[in-house]
Amino acid sequence: MIRLEPRKEMSKNLLYLTPVIAVALTIIFGGVMFLILGKNPVRAITIIFVTPLTDLFTISEIIVKATPLILIGIGLSFGFRAGVWNIGAEGQFTIGALVGGALPALYPVEGFWILPVMCLAGIIGGMAWAAIPAFLRTKFNANEILVTLMLTYVAVLLLSVLVHGPLKDPAGLNFPESRLFNESATLPILIPGTRAHVGFLIAILALIVAWMLLTRHIFGYQVKVMGQSPKAASFGGFIQNKVVWLCLMISGGLAGLAGTFEAAGPVGQLVPALPVGYGFTAIIVAFLGRLTPIGILFAGFVMALTYIGGEAAQIEMNLPSAVTGVFQGMFLFSLLGIDVLAGFRICLAGRRPAGATG
Amino acid sequence: MTDKSLLDLSGVTKRFPGVVANDDVTFSILPGEVHALFGENGAGKSTLVKIIYGVQRPDKGEMRFDGKPYAPAKPSEARAMGIGMVFQHFSLFEALTVADNVALGMNKEAIGSNLDEQIVEVSKAYGLTLDPARYIGSLSVGERQRVEIIRCLLQKPRLLIMDEPTSVLTPQEVEILFQTLRQLSSEGCSILYISHKLEEIRELCEKATVLRGGKVVATCDPREETAKSLAEMMIGTTFKFAERQVHELGKDRLVVNNLTSVSHDPFGVDICDVSFRVRSGEIFGIGGVAGNGQVELMETLIGEITTVADSICLDGEAIGTMGPTARRERGMCSVPEERLGHGAVSDMSLWENTILSARTRKSMEKRGFLDLQIAQDFAGQVVSKFNVKTAGIDNTAKSLSGGNLQKFIVGREILQAPTVLLIMQPTWGVDAAAAADIHRTLQDMAADGAAILVISQDLEELMAISTNFAVIAEGRLSEPKPTGSQTIEEIGLLMGGVYDRLGDADEGAPA
Amino acid sequence: MDLLVLVLQGVIIAATPLVFAAIGELVVEKSGVLNLGVEGMMIMGAIAGFSVTLETGSYILGIASAALVGALSASLFGLLTQILLSNQVATGLALTIFGLGLAALWGQGYSGESTQALGKVHIFLFSDIPIIGPLFFSYDPLIYLSVALVIGVSWFLNKTRLGLILRSIGENHDSAHAIGYSVVAVRMAAILFGGACAGLGGAYLSIIQTPLWVEGMTAGRGWIALAIVVFAAWRPGRALVGAYLFGGVTVIQLHVQGLGFEIEAQYMSMLPYLVTIIVLVVISHNKTRAALHAPACLGKPFFASS
């Protein structure tokens, strides 16, 4: 029999080691999955996890995917620490793209001011969408998990109906898509010849600000106390509703910004298929990164790698695209399972002192 | 070990990581005997009875019940042998009825066809009135204990284990409980009575086993001992208890006027029209049975729940609508009852925990940004001045033992030099020497002009240190009186919530 | 009249996946566990049921494997949350993400395939009564199973000793442990039952209601089932009513355009999600009452420290 014994002190080393073990475990489980699918596991793992890192273009594509994941993930991490479960970042992402992209989709004007206005609009859009669950939770005690999720379905439908209607490209042969954004409304490219855009720098900036907030600012402290013990938070004089609002505004705003970046960056227009699940994958990124800024940076890259590697495997080995989703699920499972190591000591009951009656 | 003994323990040892809870414990209980197991907090009493009841298994040693080897793997096996147990923290379910609760605590085979009737029958036979259809959430603490006892009695126990049963009862309820226990003992049921209260052990028990640091240090007949000799056996040394100091009381510091507050918890207690004042130099004590509104009163005083502005005044300023931080700024600090998860965050380090309540008065926060150095220095101060045993201020709050964490939290508040200190169960879980230290510190603070409110369930403690005293029952506060001006019977009646009648009697007497 | 009967029949058919998923989750939550992976377990059940039915031609095998696969997915959640003490919210989310991915992988070859409609139960004489017959006695056996399941769960929770033990564990796991009940074993059993029910709900969707396999076909029904449990205040009978109400919303959405209203299809598709939000608000706004009905230990991890 194996028993768990709680550690008095969380093992700090293990805390940082567990994500690495989780990645290793996922690769092992993934290998088993490929065997079952009748594919060469070593080759598949190599294509997914190694090959993309050997080529500048694929690296730039990883940056493209990592940008929204990091932005959304860092925003979610505040709420997840505080026990505010915004799992509808996908919806806020969608609304952010919609609001931020509405201007260039409707009026192809030129000017240096367009991009900042779009970003601001995207942030406000995401915040507004997140304000609904914030309002309903603080005012009516409605569970934000369900509300944010339901609103995601609504947001995706809303994008679809608007792109089929008012935002449709007048010269677009009736396809459900907006006009292509002009130069002024497109994000500057970071590495020439690739799609990696300046949004990545903003994501890094967000990480630094988040790190400051978490380690040096009373807001970060509030968030930590609230998540670990709501009663201690009210003893400390922290107002729960304020924290709920702030967490949802931060995560909603950053998700909205990520949505605008996606529309103004790699996609370059509004299409119904704009939301591809970054909002959900970012949940995994946040957990895999231990809800810490530096961790989220790495986790964002690892998850982006599974997208790019998954696509490569799709082309080269004829693997289904769903492989990426399975991998991401396995990541989170392995991490959650392995987490037990950090908080508990695993003992073999047989090693208890001799003469035990139990 | 005699042949006729009911339960024998020999060499029982139980270790937990870092501590030996029971070390080679040996003793026997005779049939029909009321046997006390007593010792200080942390002496290992609870672990030992859990072993007897099959909740835990010993690492070493053996037990015999009725002369036969006895090693229960789970409580239902203990129950099947005829052992019943009333826990200190009741194992009851608030959202279920009395009958459901009784059924859950009995082995399936023992439940007859009509449980409700059985409950009524047994409750009558032992003078413990109880309605099987009521929900536990609506019962008082004393009534809840009856549910636990009846649950045991229905299984016709041969040994009944009672873990600190009187800490939640009024003196009158204690008297009824003792009658029930004596009746049981006369019917041949043995009782293992766990307590750290000397007087009640002398009153009730025929034999006592004294535990200290997990070891049996003495066995005696408590009826032939004095309270002093028992205390020495329990603590191992002699020392002086804090004595009440008398000095001049100054101006009003904390004034509470007709405070009323409705609880947000469906099973909580509403605070109803509470008024009192605490002056500079005063220690005001509020006694009462647990669950009568102490926690709710504390929440409104700390500011976790706000109320009408002038129902709470601090140094003349109405603060009822202010939150905890604003109240701290104005000089009011507090120690809530629950240490882990309310007064401190379990998984945060000690220095991070100072930020929770000391950031304003110790200027750790400037325009939202935290000065971590000040927090660390302050944590170091608390640890050294209050003798908190820990490897360092980077250790988490939950890594501290109960008593050490209590010292840390009390120290954190006292070192902020508050003008008003609210403190609940100040010595809960600390050993006798540390308790005396805390009492002395509180008295020194009062002597320096602070106003101190102590809410405690420990009447002896309140009698020892408070200047004035009142009782809270069902969310209402009795009229504050100088400590020592009331008899223990009067206080008992107040704790039972019958002060209205007492008031009538006072008014009626001269007429 | 015939149209009304037809609409009501549609409601009941649309609601049945929700009935299965909600009644399973209700038992799980009564034991004090919050499994947010209903969506993932449902879709796993959907593909398992669909593929096995298609490959073997046996509905019984298909439905049984859906329940089995649902329970297997749930066992993963149970292992992580009960044995390895992981966070229930995060693990439930992981289960949903994982389930959606794995089901998509499994279903690669089945897109566009279809199973035959399952025969309806014909009850001699009763099925032929006008209105009553089509309304009550003209369904496939799974609908009757779903109703029987609700009645069975209600009986189990309120009238049996094991049901009482399960409820007590959801109310206060520490007390239940102190008395000597195995919190983990009971919760594991509840989680497996919940998974099997979600699997059945998914299978109903893919084998009977549509009947085809489409990637992501549960479309949030698992989440709506979670909302129904809140709506029902953890009472089985009300969960049935709640599921039928949501079924009604889904069906109205299809009929509004038929009735000649000029409105975009997408707006109508939003309806079930918006209704879920409104219902949640109405049910939860009284904090004290909401707390009174919810199992007190819902979502809290249990570790036997003694």
Q: Are A149 and A129 in contact (CB under 8 A)?
A: no
Beta-bridged to residue B83, according to DSSP, are: B159
Quote the CA–CA distance of B411 and B391 in Å, as a whole number.
17
- Average of per-residue pLDDT across C151-176: 94
Phi, psi of C219 (to 5 degrees): 45, 45
Please tell me the distance from the alpha carbon of residue B216 to that of residue B230, in angstroms, as a whole number. Answer: 14
**Tens digit of pLDDT for each residue in A306-342?**
889 988 888 888 887 788 888 888 888 888 888 777 7
First to last CA, chain B: 64
C215 pLDDT tier (thresholds 50, 70, 90): confident
Which of A81, A138, A154, A323 to probe by mutation at the C interface, max C CB count within 10 Å?
A154
Q: Is the pLDDT of residue B502 over 50?
A: no
Of C175, C288, C293, which to mutate for an interface test with B (greatest number of B Cβ within 10 Å)?
C175
What is the percent of chain B where pLDDT is above 90?
44
Which strands make up the sheet holding B19-29, listed edge to edge? B19-29, B7-16, B60-65, B68-70
* Most confident segment among A312-316, B199-203, C126-130, C203-207: C203-207
| Maximum mean pLDDT: which of A91-95, B8-12, C110-114 | A91-95
Which of the pair, B168 or C226, is modelled with greater confidence?
A: C226
Segment C200-220 shows an average pLDDT of 89
> Are B279 and B226 contacting, i.e. CB atoms less than 8 angstroms apart?
no
Q: Judge: A235–B328 Cβ closer than 8 Å, yes or no.
A: no
Whether A114 is in a domain gets the answer yes
| Residues above pLDDT 90, as percent of chain C | 46
Residue keyed to tokens 């009509």: B114
CATH code: domain C2-293 is: 1.10.3470
Instruction: Count CB atoms within 10 A of the CB of residue B241.
Output: 14
pLDDT band at B248 (very low <50, low <70, confident <90, very high): confident
Pairing of strands B451-455, B283-287: parallel
Residue B323 pLDDT more than 90?
Answer: yes
Alpha carbon distance A191, A196 (integer Å)? 6
- Average pLDDT (A44-71) is 93
Task: Quote the CA–CA distance of A95 and A102 in Å, as a whole number.
Answer: 10
In a domain, A254, yes or no: yes
Q: B287 with B471: CB under 8 angstroms?
A: yes
Phi–psi pair at B420, nearest 5 degrees: -130, 130
Reported as a pLDDT band with limits 50, 70 and 90, residue A16 is confident
Of B297, B305, B418, which is closest to residue B361 (Cα–Cα)?
B418
Mean pLDDT of chain B: 86
In this structure, of A5-9, A62-66, B19-23, B314-318, the range with the lowest mean pLDDT score is A5-9
| A228-249 residue pLDDT tens | 999 999 999 999 999 999 999 9
- Highest mean pLDDT: which of B142-146, C135-139, C193-197, C288-292? C193-197
Q: How many CB pairs under 8 A join B and C?
A: 58
Per-residue model confidence (pLDDT) at position B503: 44
Confidence label for A193 from pLDDT (cuts 50, 70 and 90): confident
Structural domain tally of chain A? Answer: 1
pLDDT in tens, B214-233: 889 889 998 888 877 877 78
Average pLDDT value for chain C:
87
- The string of pLDDT tens digits covering residues C12-53 is 989 999 999 999 999 999 999 999 999 999 999 999 999 999
Cα–Cα distance between A65 and A278 in angstroms, integer?
8
Cα distance between residue C63 and residue C204, in whole Å: 8
Asked if residue A356 belongs to a domain, the reply is no
Token couple for C82: 């009960």
Edge-first strand listing for the sheet containing B83-86: B83-86, B159-163, B190-195, B34-38, B207-212, B215-220
Q: What is the percent of chain A with per-residue pLDDT over 90, rounded to a whole number?
A: 57
pLDDT of residue C117: 66
Mean pLDDT in residue range A32-43: 87
CB A347, CB A1: distance < 8 Å:
no
**Residue in A5, A225, A353 closest to B59 by CB:** A353
The span from the CA of B365 to the CA of B120, in Å, is: 60
Q: How far is B496 from chain C (nearest CA, A)?
A: 26
Report whether pLDDT(A170) > 50.
yes
Asked whether residue A154 is domain-assigned, the answer is yes
Q: What is the pLDDT of residue A351?
A: 42
Instruction: For residue A323, give the CATH number of its domain.
Output: 1.10.3470
One-character DSSP codes across A76-126: HHHHHHHT-----HHHHHHHHHHHHHHHHHH-----TTHHHHHHHHHHHHH
Q: Which residue ranges make up each domain of chain C? A: 2-293
Tell which C residues from 223 to 282 touch A, by Cβ distance under 8 Å.
223, 226-227, 230, 264, 266-267, 269-270, 273-274, 276-277, 280-281
Structure confidence by residue, pLDDT tens digits, A123-158 = 999 999 999 999 999 999 898 988 998 999 999 999
Percentage of chain A exceeding pLDDT 70: 94
Helix, coil or strand: residue B453? strand
Whole-number Å distance between alpha carbons of B417 and B330: 11
pLDDT over 70 (residue A350)? no
Contacting partners of chain A (3+ CB pairs under 8 A): B, C
Q: Is the predicted pLDDT of residue B99 greater than 70, yes or no?
A: yes
pLDDT for the residue B1: 44
Rounded to whole angstroms, how far apart are CA atoms A223 and B23? Answer: 44
**Domains of chain B and any CATH numbers:** 7-235 (3.40.50.300), 242-331+419-506 (3.40.50.300), 340-417 (no CATH)
For chain B, percent of residues with pLDDT exceeding 70: 94
pLDDT higher than threshold 60 for residue A344: yes
Span C255-269, pLDDT tens digits: 776 676 777 888 888
Domain range for A113: 66-343
Closest CA to B256 of B481, B453, B28: B453
Structure confidence at residue B464 (pLDDT): 85
Average pLDDT over residues C267-293: 82
CB proximity under 8 Å: C 116-145 to A: none
Instruction: Kindly state whether residue A17 falls inside one of the protein's structural domains.
Output: no
Is the ipTM beyond the 0.90 threshold?
no
In DSSP terms, B161 is beta-bridged to B85, B192
| Residue B66: both structure tokens together | 């009725």
**Contact call for B345 and A228, based on CB within 8 A:** yes
Is the CB of B372 inside 8 Å of chain A's CB atoms? yes
pLDDT value at position B256?
95
Q: What is the pLDDT of residues B272-282, one digit of tens each?
A: 999 999 999 99
Confidence of residue C127 (pLDDT cuts 50, 70, 90): low
At B299, is the pLDDT very low, low, confident or very high (cuts 50, 70, 90)? Answer: very high
What's the confidence (pLDDT) of residue B507?
40
Q: How confident is the model at residue A356 (pLDDT cuts 50, 70, 90)?
A: very low
Q: Does residue A62 or residue C179 have the better pLDDT?
A: A62
In the block, tokens 């600012």 appear at: A217
